[in-house]
Amino acid sequence: MAITISGGGITTNEILDNTITASDINSAVELGGPSLGASSVIRTNAQTISENITIPSTSNGMSAGPITIADGYTVTVNGNWSVV
């Protein structure tokens, strides 16, 4: 059942048990990014970039390497990108 939220927001008074858990959120929404282990102790990222990405001049980016950029794709770095 789809629910429309008027005014673009809700308060805890409008939530039956005053909590929202991961199961209440659409599975397409990533919560904190991919991770492994209890309490997300290890954060993960893919090893291959298969899309065009631009890091704006006002942003910093970080990836755990090694990282491969697939053929036909580019990463444009106007800001800063660290691969550790």
Q: Please report whether residue 1 resides in a domain.
A: no
Alpha helices in the chain (DSSP H): none
Q: Please report whether residue 69 resides in a domain.
A: yes
Q: Please report whether residue 57 resides in a domain.
A: yes
What is the C-alpha to C-alpha distance for residues 1 and 12, in angstroms, rounded to an integer? Answer: 20
Query: What's the total number of domains in the chain?
Result: 1
Q: Please report whether residue 63 resides in a domain.
A: yes
What is the C-alpha to C-alpha distance for residues 73 and 13, in angstroms, rounded to an integer? Answer: 47
Q: Please report whether residue 3 resides in a domain.
A: no
Q: Which residue range(s) make up the domain with 75?
A: 9-83
- The one-digit pLDDT tens for each residue of the chain (84 residues) are 566 666 667 766 667 776 777 777 777 776 678 888 888 889 899 999 999 999 999 999 999 999 999 999 999 999 999 999
What is the reported pLDDT for 1? 57
Q: 53 CB contacts (<8 Å, ≥6 apart)?
A: 73, 74, 75, 76
What is the reported pLDDT for 81? 96
Stated pTM of the model: 0.61
